[in-house]
């Protein structure tokens, strides 16, 4: 008896800005796109079908693709918050449409970076509350509202220093181990890409289905900081994931030879270039995320 392979999980990789050549456009996440597209199921079938795009606003400042996302056949939306806040990111209408998408069973992955980079994500229902920025929804503890990264004075808090671009950081997996943090061979994942100034995430206190699942430690101050918050599905809504920085996933942090925008000034490390196996945990992390976020309406 033959079994029919499950249809590929349909994933949209989406930045929060229109294309700009000297910025974090979607072309700087090509290695992630290719890795997801290469994932295979048990019978060798493609696990996912991936579309990657930048935001394309219409005359009203809204993105027609995001505006229709709730009625689409996408299973997951991976949002890369690379805007600088205000009117530079996804619109209120885009956020409302994305919130409906999750309410109707779609899964949302949302990541950002330091200070106010990606702060348009704050308008997302549920998952938006997990993201703390400098000017919007700051971390509730006053002691957290100070710089952690000592090397880039132009970047204000939150800016947790987990190491150099091109290297990895040691992570701490919260117990019980979340499925996304499990190694195929057993045990837990141990590393993710490092970045000089990660943002801040936390589980919203009014959401019992959200919890911090992995943390890091500042290489500058030894302070712990949250890396990811997982949101379980409930009442028909899809799962969610909030991540401290998109640098865990961009080409430059997987391969420094891929280059970066001209405004990135920190000296990178060549650790991953010398030992590509340092990315094994990160690639498993991505594969686990795809599987855990899953198909819409499962």
Q: Let me know if residue 3 belongs to a domain.
A: no
Comparing CA positions, the residue from 92, 59, 46, 53 lying closest to residue 72 is: 53
Q: What is the pTM of this model?
A: 0.96
pLDDT single digits (tens) 280-295: 999 999 999 999 999 9
Q: Let me know if residue 2 belongs to a domain.
A: no
Q: Let me know if residue 4 belongs to a domain.
A: no
Record the tokens describing residue 118, joined without a space. Answer: 């990606």
Q: What is the mean pLDDT of residues 50-77?
A: 97
Q: Let me know if residue 65 belongs to a domain.
A: yes
Answer whether residue 87 shows pLDDT above 90: no
Q: What is the mean pLDDT of residues 84-109?
A: 94
Sign, Cα dihedral of 15, 102, 110, 119 = positive
Q: What is the mean pLDDT of residues 89-93?
A: 95
**How far is the C-alpha of 190 from the C-alpha of 169, rounded, in Å?**
8
Q: State how many domains the chain has.
A: 1
What's 165's domain CATH number?
A: 3.40.50.880
pLDDT single digits (tens) 18-36: 999 999 999 999 999 999 9
Q: Let me know if residue 228 belongs to a domain.
A: yes
Q: Let me know if residue 170 belongs to a domain.
A: yes
Contact predicate 69/106, CB 8 Å: yes
- Nearest-10 crossing angle of helices 30-37, 280-293: 60
Q: Let me know if residue 248 belongs to a domain.
A: yes
Q: Let me know if residue 1 belongs to a domain.
A: no
Query: What percentage of the chain carries pLDDT values higher than 90?
Result: 91
Answer whether residue 88 shows pLDDT above 90: no
> Could you tell me which residues come within 8 angstroms of residue 183 by beta carbon, excluding any fewer than 6 positions away?
189, 281, 284
pLDDT, mean over the chain: 95
Range of the domain at 240: 9-293
């Amino acid at each position: 008896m033959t079994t029919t392979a499950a249809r590929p999980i349909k994933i949209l990789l989406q930045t929060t800005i229109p294309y700009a050549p000297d910025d974090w456009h979607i072309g700087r996440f090509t290695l992630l796109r290719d890795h997801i597209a290469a994932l295979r199921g048990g019978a060798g079938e493609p696990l996912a079908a991936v579309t990657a795009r930048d935001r394309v606003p219409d005359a009203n400042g809204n993105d027609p693709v995001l505006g229709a996302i709730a009625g689409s056949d996408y299973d997951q939306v991976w949002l890369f918050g690379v805007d600088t806040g205000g009117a530079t990111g996804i619109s209120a209408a885009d956020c409302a449409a994305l919130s409906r998408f999750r309410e109707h069973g779609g899964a949302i992955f949302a990541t950002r970076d330091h200070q106010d980079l990606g702060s348009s994500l704050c308008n997302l229902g549920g998952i938006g509350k997990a993201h703390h920025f400098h000017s919007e929804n700051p971390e509730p503890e006053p002691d957290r509202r100070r710089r952690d990264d000592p090397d880039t004075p132009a970047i204000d808090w939150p800016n947790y220093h987990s190491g150099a671009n091109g290297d990895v950081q040691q992570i701490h997996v919260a117990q019980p181990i979340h499925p996304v943090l499990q190694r195929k061979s057993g045990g837990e994942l141990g590393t993710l890409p490092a970045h000089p100034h990660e943002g801040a995430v936390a589980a919203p206190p009014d959401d019992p289905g959200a919890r911090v699942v992995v943390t890091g430690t500042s290489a500058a101050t030894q302070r712990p900081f949250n890396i990811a918050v997982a949101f379980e599905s409930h009442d028909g809504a899809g799962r969610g994931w909030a991540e401290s920085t998109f640098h865990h996933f961009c080409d430059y942090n997987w391969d420094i030879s891929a280059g970066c925008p001209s405004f990135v000034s920190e000296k990178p490390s060549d650790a991953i270039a010398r030992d590509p196996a340092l990315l094994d945990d990160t690639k498993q992390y991505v594969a686990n995320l795809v599987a855990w976020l899953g198909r819409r309406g499962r």
